[in-house]
Amino acid sequence: MSMLNASTLSHPAAFLLDGIPGLEATQFWIAFPFCIMYAIAVVGNIIIFFIIKTEPSLHEPMYLFLAMLAITDVVLSTSTLPKMLGIFWLDSREIGFHACLTQMFFVHAFSTVESGVLTAMALDRFIAICYPLRHSSILSIPVTMAIGSLVLTRAVLLVSPISILASRLPFCGHRLISHSYCEHMAVVKLVCGNIRANIIYGLFVGFMVVGFDVLVISVSYALILRTVMRLPCTEARLKAVSTCASHTCVILAFYVPALFTFLTHRFGHHIPHHVHIMVANLYLLVPPMLNPIVYGVRTRQIQGRVIRLFQLRGI
């Protein structure tokens, strides 16, 4: 019984999310563009996934990875935005302890999945441009699905300990999370005990995931660029560069705010807190919103099927 009481008292039944500290007066209005971006992200990614799923000619590695990215974006944005809008519009700031840990898991796990899928897409472009005749044999459908499973498994195995470690920490009744969602470091800063293990493991996961994925992406694009520059035809070079341009934009939109958020929590104490929180919020919104727009506009096969889909429905 004493152990049960100690466990119960070690953390509050619920936390309070602070929204965007310093911008409380404008949060109501900030929620409107957030809501629009969320709607575009959800609707756009569902359309992309539906088109790829129902069109047999798109059952190729490039489009299967894009379908994985679409589902990841829907889960990633949905794990935070509904609650965030509740905070901004309804002042519904309370979130249960276990709900907070669940949100933390989904945010970090599916951020890791997104990084892995972007890496897989870079490898797909590398093989398609550098080894075009062997592309279908190297990246067959079973291999593509195995890569997707591996990306998801990696995320679950790496992120699960973060939530488990956080659940065992003593919070001593501290409830106010200075953030719009249950981000790992924002939560563990409330702990009244030693959080060194959480900080070290968080850094390990961050540098392992981002470091490895960015290295693979950088090497892939360096080799792609070398191959493209050797192409004899200018038109072929432009087509190859254009094919990779959309993916490069998506990569930058994901990794730049991700690195800013990750490093600011640990080293950027001079950065205004509301700037940090705004970037952290946009990090979960802008890439999911941009991905269907970029790939829908830049990918001719998807663009044609989107137009056909709306024509069939009389839109």
Domain 14-312, classified CATH 3.30.230.70, yes or no: no
Give pLDDT tens digits for 201-210. Answer: 988 898 889 8
Percentage of residues in the chain having pLDDT higher than 90? 39
Cα–Cα dist 116/118, whole Å: 5
**Domain ranges (residues) in the chain:** 14-312
Rank 88-97, 127-136, 292-301 by mean pLDDT and report only the highest.
Answer: 88-97
pLDDT of 315 strictly over 60: no
Q: Give the global pTM.
A: 0.89
134 three-state secondary structure: helix
CA proximity to 284, closest of 131, 49, 109, 129:
109
Cα–Cα dist 90/19, whole Å: 12
Q: What is the CB neighbour count within 10 angstroms for residue 239?
A: 13
pLDDT of 4 strictly over 60: no
CB burial of residue 217 (10 Å; 0-12, 13-18, 19+)? buried
Indicate the average pLDDT of the chain.
85
Confidence of residue 171 (pLDDT cuts 50, 70, 90): confident
pLDDT of 118 strictly over 60: yes
The mean pLDDT of 64-88, rounded to a whole number, is: 94
Give pLDDT tens digits for 7-23. Answer: 444 778 889 998 888 88
Q: Confirm if 97 and 13 have CB atoms less than 8 A apart.
A: yes
Write out the two tokens for 15: 């936390």
Give the CA count within 13 Å in the CB-facing half-sphere of 113.
25
